[in-house]
C-alpha cells in the first residue's frame, strides 16, 4: 500500500466518522474564549502601563524643564527708607526655557529684627531676556523695623518651584562713590588734547590717541578728549545734549575763560555737524570729545592765555527719562607757549 493511498484512507475515515467531533469543537471554542480573555487582560494591562509611562515621561520632562531654568540675579542691592525696603536687581534669563517669576521673598536677617515679607510678582523672562529692576523700577516691600544698617537676604521663586537667591553686589561701593560726585566716573590718566589737521579743517590730528598730557600749547586750536564711564547706581543710560562742555579758567587771569562744547567725531577724526546726542549705557566707557565754541555746530577754539588753569566738566542731558546736569572740577592744565 502506498503512502498516498494510506493517507487518503485515513482522511476518508476521519470525515466519515463523526465520533468525538463535538469535543474538538468545544475544546476549540474554550481555547478561543480563554485566548480572548487573556488577550484582553494583557492588552488592557499594557494600556495602563502606557499611561503610567506617559505620566513618568511628563514628570521627567517637567524635571528637565525645571532644571533648565537658569535665572541670574545680578548686581543686587537694597535701599531702605523707613520700613520700605527697595530691592534693586538685574535679572537675566541665562537658561534655555522661558521663566515666570511669581514671588519675591525678603528677609531682614538682623538679629534685632528677624522679619520677612513676600511680594507677588508676575515677571516673564524669555531666554536671554534681561530685566532691570533698579531705581524707579526697584521692587519695594515693607518690613517693619528695617534699617539701612541691617543685612537683608532675598530670593525669587519661579512658577516651577525653583528659588533664585539674590547676591549682593560688591561693586555697589563704586556706584555709591560715583553717586557722591554724580553718576559719571572720570579717567584722569587718559585725559588728552588734540590739534587739527591742516586740511580738512575739522579733522583732528592723531585721533583717537591724541596727546595724553596736562600741558597744552597756547595760540593753537585744540580740542579735548575725556574718557567717561557711566556708573549710575540706578543703572540708567546717560545722554549728553549739545550744551555739555568743558571750560577752563585761569586763577591768575580772571575773565580768560574758554569753553569747548561736545562734538561727534567720525572714526577718522572728522568732526561732524549737527551734533547728535551721545549716550553712555550703564557700565559703558566712552571717549568724549569737546571741540567747538558754538553748541551743536563747529568753531575751533584756542587758548591765548598762558599759565596754570583749571578744567571743569559741565554735563547736561538726560539720565534715563529724567533731566541730568552735573558740573565737576576735573584736571589742572598748564598752558605753555610753544
Partner 1 sequence: MKLKGIECLEMDLRKVWKLLRERRAVSTVVSSVILTGAVIAVSFVVLFWAQYRSSAYNEQYSEAMNADIARLKERLAFEYVFYSGGNLTVYLMNCGTIDNVTVKTVYVSNSTSVKVFSTINLTNFNGVEIADQDLDRGEEGCIVLSSLSLQAGTSCSVRVVTGRGSTFDHTFVA
Interacting residues toward partner 1 by CB under 8 A: 22, 26, 30, 33-34, 37, 40-41, 44-45, 48-49, 51-52, 55-56, 58-59, 62, 102-103, 105, 114, 116, 118, 157, 159-163
CB of 157 to partner 1, least distance (A): 5
Cβ proximity to partner 1: between 27 and 302 the closer is 27
Cβ proximity to partner 1: between 145 and 201 the closer is 145
Cβ proximity to partner 1: between 45 and 302 the closer is 45
Cβ proximity to partner 1: between 161 and 283 the closer is 161
CB of 178 to partner 1, least distance (A): 35
CB of 12 to partner 1, least distance (A): 25
Angstrom distance (rounded) from CA 163 to CA 156: 5
Is the distance from CB of 295 to CB of 275 less than 8 angstroms?
yes
- Among the listed residues 338, 259, 260, the one whose alpha carbon sits nearest the alpha carbon of residue 306: 338
CB of 17 to partner 1, least distance (A): 16
- Among the listed residues 200, 201, 187, 333, the one whose alpha carbon sits nearest the alpha carbon of residue 258: 333
Cβ proximity to partner 1: between 27 and 252 the closer is 27
CB of 148 to partner 1, least distance (A): 23
Those residues whose C-beta lies under 8 Å from the C-beta of residue 42, and which sit 6 or more positions away, are none
Enter the C-alpha cell of residue 122: 508676575
φ, ψ for residue 195, nearest 5 deg: -110, 180
Cβ proximity to partner 1: between 154 and 264 the closer is 154
CB of 116 to partner 1, least distance (A): 6
Those residues whose C-beta lies under 8 Å from the C-beta of residue 27, and which sit 6 or more positions away, are none
Cβ proximity to partner 1: between 2 and 18 the closer is 18
CB of 163 to partner 1, least distance (A): 7
- Among the listed residues 184, 175, 172, the one whose alpha carbon sits nearest the alpha carbon of residue 317: 184
11 bridge partner residues: none
Alpha helical stretches, state H, the chain:
3-16, 21-68, 172-181
Enter the C-alpha cell of residue 205: 590730528
> If you count them, how many residues does the chain have?
338
Is the distance from CB of 172 to CB of 150 less than 8 angstroms?
no
Amino acid at each position: 500500500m502506498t503512502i498516498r493511498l494510506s493517507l487518503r484512507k485515513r482522511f476518508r475515515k476521519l470525515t466519515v466518522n463523526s465520533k468525538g467531533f463535538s469535543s474538538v469543537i468545544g475544546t476549540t471554542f474554550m481555547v478561543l474564549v480563554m485566548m480572548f480573555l487573556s488577550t484582553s487582560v494583557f492588552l488592557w494591562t499594557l494600556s495602563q502601563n502606557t499611561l503610567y509611562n506617559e505620566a513618568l515621561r511628563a514628570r521627567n520632562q517637567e524635571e528637565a524643564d525645571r532644571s533648565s531654568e537658569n535665572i541670574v540675579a545680578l548686581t543686587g542691592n537694597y535701599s531702605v527708607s523707613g520700613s520700605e525696603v527697595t530691592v534693586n536687581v538685574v535679572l537675566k534669563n541665562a537658561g534655555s526655557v522661558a521663566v515666570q517669576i511669581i514671588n519675591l521673598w525678603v528677609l531682614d536677617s538682623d538679629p534685632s529684627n528677624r522679619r520677612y515679607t513676600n511680594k507677588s510678582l508676575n515677571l516673564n523672562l524669555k531666554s536671554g531676556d534681561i530685566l532691570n529692576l533698579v531705581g524707579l523700577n526697584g521692587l519695594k516691600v515693607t518690613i517693619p523695623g528695617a534699617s539701612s544698617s541691617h543685612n537683608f537676604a532675598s530670593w525669587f521663586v519661579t512658577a516651577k518651584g525653583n528659588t533664585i537667591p539674590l547676591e549682593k553686589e560688591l561693586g555697589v561701593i563704586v556706584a555709591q562713590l560715583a553717586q557722591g560726585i554724580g553718576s559719571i566716573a572720570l579717567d584722569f590718566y587718559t585725559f588728552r588734547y588734540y590739534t587739527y589737521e591742516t586740511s580738512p579743517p575739522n579733522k583732528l590730528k592723531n585721533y583717537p590717541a591724541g596727546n595724553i598730557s596736562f600741558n597744552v600749547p597756547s595760540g593753537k586750536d585744540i580740542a579735548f578728549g575725556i574718557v567717561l564711564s557711566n556708573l549710575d547706581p540706578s543703572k540708567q543710560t546717560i545722554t549728553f545734549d549739545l550744551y555739555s562742555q568743558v571750560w577752563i579758567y585761569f586763577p591768575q587771569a580772571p575773565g580768560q575763560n574758554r569753553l569747548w562744547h561736545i562734538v561727534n567725531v567720525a572714526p577718522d577724526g572728522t568732526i561732524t555737524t549737527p551734533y547728535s546726542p551721545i549716550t553712555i549705557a550703564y557700565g559703558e566707557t566712552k571717549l568724549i570729545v569737546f571741540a567747538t565754541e558754538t553748541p551743536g555746530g563747529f568753531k575751533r577754539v584756542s587758548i591765548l592765555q598762558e599759565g596754570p588753569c583749571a578744567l571743569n566738566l559741565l554735563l547736561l542731558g538726560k539720565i534715563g527719562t529724567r533731566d541730568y546736569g552735573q558740573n565737576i572740577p576735573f584736571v589742572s592744565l598748564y598752558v605753555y607757549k610753544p
